[in-house]
Structure formats: structure tokens, C-alpha cells
């Protein structure tokens, strides 16, 4: 069996085009562009890259965006002051605080301070409660993007067995709730799950989100399953790359020339050989996360402007 790729890049681009249409429709009515504020605390290189890509995506979709940068030494109160100010601003529809925050900043207090009507990341307790109770509101962007991907790739979830590996607040838990809402029978697995490969092999839809490079191997995947790989891990070792990618010349070249390549939480050869549909890494789930952030910001603007 040779699995088909679920192209997150193409589907993410389609969602972004829909957001651009929505933003243009607001402007055509003489209204302002939707506005997103990104708060970045400290000098984390990965966080800087993520925030820059979000700001760039906003510009491409016709959204207004603003980056608020604070030093790594910022206190909880200093971050809260910024969030409160953004809550008051009429030109800002969405607020995202880039995680992780420096150790001295109380992450929970900061997320709780965001106005739920501007919580486009979907991390506020009110947003989480709305998701649990199925009452609308904003949903975390990565699992929401995965649901869009499955829908647009024609995956029918009704009555299917879905297994989510990983129980984070950002992906694992909300993912399970969204699958449940679409009438899948859902199991959440984690580091204490007994016979993890056996449980995973029961899945018609397998979502891997635990941050362990190529941890899910052939033994975990039921033939013909749909596999969604949320992990992004950097591989720098040539022997490891050879093992993960079955000697794929393109990947081996990346490691030799650039010093690294990316692998998800699923062994790529296992997905290629056993899944009916799967997400590549990169180019699978990643582009959908930003697309859904823009979609949430547009939705917030539409609600706020009536």
C-alpha cells in the first residue's frame, strides 16, 4: 500500500484565500480590516520565527497586525498590562501571546487576562468551556486546522475509531473533543498507556501529538488508517535520518547540506507504507495552524462589527 498525502499547504492556502475574501468584504462595506496583536516576550528563536510568519500571513490576507515585543526579563504584571491595553483597543480583534513564556511569567494568569471575545488562540478557560459544552467560540488553531483538513479530504468520522496520542491542552485534549463532536469513538493515549501500539492499531484515524521523533512505527498503524502527524522534530544525525526516511535522497541531502531535516512523531516509512491518507512533515499540519488563526481573527472581527 502506498498512502496518499493530505496536502496541508494547499488546504491552508485555500483557507487563507477565504479569509482574504472575508476581509475584503468588510472593507467593501466601509469597515476596517480585522486586527491581530501578537505579544512576544523574550528572545526565543523559534517563537520569533512563528510570530514573524503570523504577521506576514496577516499582511497577505489583508489583515492588520501588530507585534508587541517585551524583554526576556519582563514580569507577569508587565505582560498583563500589555494584554489589558490590547483588550481595550477597538482596532484589535484577536490577541495571541506566543508561548512558551519566560519562567518568571505566570502563563495561566496571562492567558486568563485575554478578553475571551479576542481569544483567537482558543486557550482561555471560557473558550475551553465552550468547546467542552459545544457552544461555539474560538477553538485552538492546530486541532481546528486538522478538522478542516479531514473534512476537505473527505474523511467521514461518524462511528470511526479515533486515537489521539498526547494529552496537551493545546492539541491532544481539544483534538479529542472535536473528533467526539463529529461522532468518532475517541481514545486519548499518553506516556502511561498500557500496550500503546495495540491501542493505536485499533484506530481508523490516528493523531500523533507527543513530540517524540518517529516514535510511532509500523507496529502502531492499522493498514489503511488515516494518520495525522502533528510533531515537528529536528534531525541532525545522518544515521538517524537514514533510519527514519529509508535513505530518501532528498532528506539525506538536506541533512548533509543544511545540517538538519524535520521529522514528525510518526516514522515516515510507516506512514507511506501503511496509511491510506497521511500528513507529511513539513507541509502537513503546520500551514493549517496559521490559516485557522487568521480565520479566527476574521470571525472575531465579523462578530465585533456586527
- What order do you get walking across the sheet with 35-41 strand by strand? 64-70, 35-41, 94-97
Under a CB-based contact definition with an 8 Å cutoff, are residues 59 and 65 in contact? yes
Q: For residues 28 and 62, what is the distance between their CA atoms, to the nearest angstrom?
A: 12
Give the CA distances from residue 123 to residues 109, 176, 267, in Å, rounded to whole numbers and listed in that order. Answer: 12, 15, 30
CA dihedral 184, 157, 120, 13 (to 10 degrees): 160
151 has catalytic annotation: no
Under a CB-based contact definition with an 8 Å cutoff, are residues 134 and 127 in contact? no
115 has catalytic annotation: no
> From the centroid of its chain, how far is CA 19?
17
Which one of 7, 93, 119, 121 is the catalytic residue? 121
Which one of 98, 118, 160, 265 is the catalytic residue? 98
Annotate 10-27 with b (16+ C-beta within 10 A) or e (fewer). Answer: ebbeebbeebbebbeebe
C-alpha cell, 289:
495552524
Which one of 7, 54, 222, 274 is the catalytic residue? 54
54 has catalytic annotation: yes
**Active-site amino acid positions:** 54, 98, 121
Amino acid at each position: 500500500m502506498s498512502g496518499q498525502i493530505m496536502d496541508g499547504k494547499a488546504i491552508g492556502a485555500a483557507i487563507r484565500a477565504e479569509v482574504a475574501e472575508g476581509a475584503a468584504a468588510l472593507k467593501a462595506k466601509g469597515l476596517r480590516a480585522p486586527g491581530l496583536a501578537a505579544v512576544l516576550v523574550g528572545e526565543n528563536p523559534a517563537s520569533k520565527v512563528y510570530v514573524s510568519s503570523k504577521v506576514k500571513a496577516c499582511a497577505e490576507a489583508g489583515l492588520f497586525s501588530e507585534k508587541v515585543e517585551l524583554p526576556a526579563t519582563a514580569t507577569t504584571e508587565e505582560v498583563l498590562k500589555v494584554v489589558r491595553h490590547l483588550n481595550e483597543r477597538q482596532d484589535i480583534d484577536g490577541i495571541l501571546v506566543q508561548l512558551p513564556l519566560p519562567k518568571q511569567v505566570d502563563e495561566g494568569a496571562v492567558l486568563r487576562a485575554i478578553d475571551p471575545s479576542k481569544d483567537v488562540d482558543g486557550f482561555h478557560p471560557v473558550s475551553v468551556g465552550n468547546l467542552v459544552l459545544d457552544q461555539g467560540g474560538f477553538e485552538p488553531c492546530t486541532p481546528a486546522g486538522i478538522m478542516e483538513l479531514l473534512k476537505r479530504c473527505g474523511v467521514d468520522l461518524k462511528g470511526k475509531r479515533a486515537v489521539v496520542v498526547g494529552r496537551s491542552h493545546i492539541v491532544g485534549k481539544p483534538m479529542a473533543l472535536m473528533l467526539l463532536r463529529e461522532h468518532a469513538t475517541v481514545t486519548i493515549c499518553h506516556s502511561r498507556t498500557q500496550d500503546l501500539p495495540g491501542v493505536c492499531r485499533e484506530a481508523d484515524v490516528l493523531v500523533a501529538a507527543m513530540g517524540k521523533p518517529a516514535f510511532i512505527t509500523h507496529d502502531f498503524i492499522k493498514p489503511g488508517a488515516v494518520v495525522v502527524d502533528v510533531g515537528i522534530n529536528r534531525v541532525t544525525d545522518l544515521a538517524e535520518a537514514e533510519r527514519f526516511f529509508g535513505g530518501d535522497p532528498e532528506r539525506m541531502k538536506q541533512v548533509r547540506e543544511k545540517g538538519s531535516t524535520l521529522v514528525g512523531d510518526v516514522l515516515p516509512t510507516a506512514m507511506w507504507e501503511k496509511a491510506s491518507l497521511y500528513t507529511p512533515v513539513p507541509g502537513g499540519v503546520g500551514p493549517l495552524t496559521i490559516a485557522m488563526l487568521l480565520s479566527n481573527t476574521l470571525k472575531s472581527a465579523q462578530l465585533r462589527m456586527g
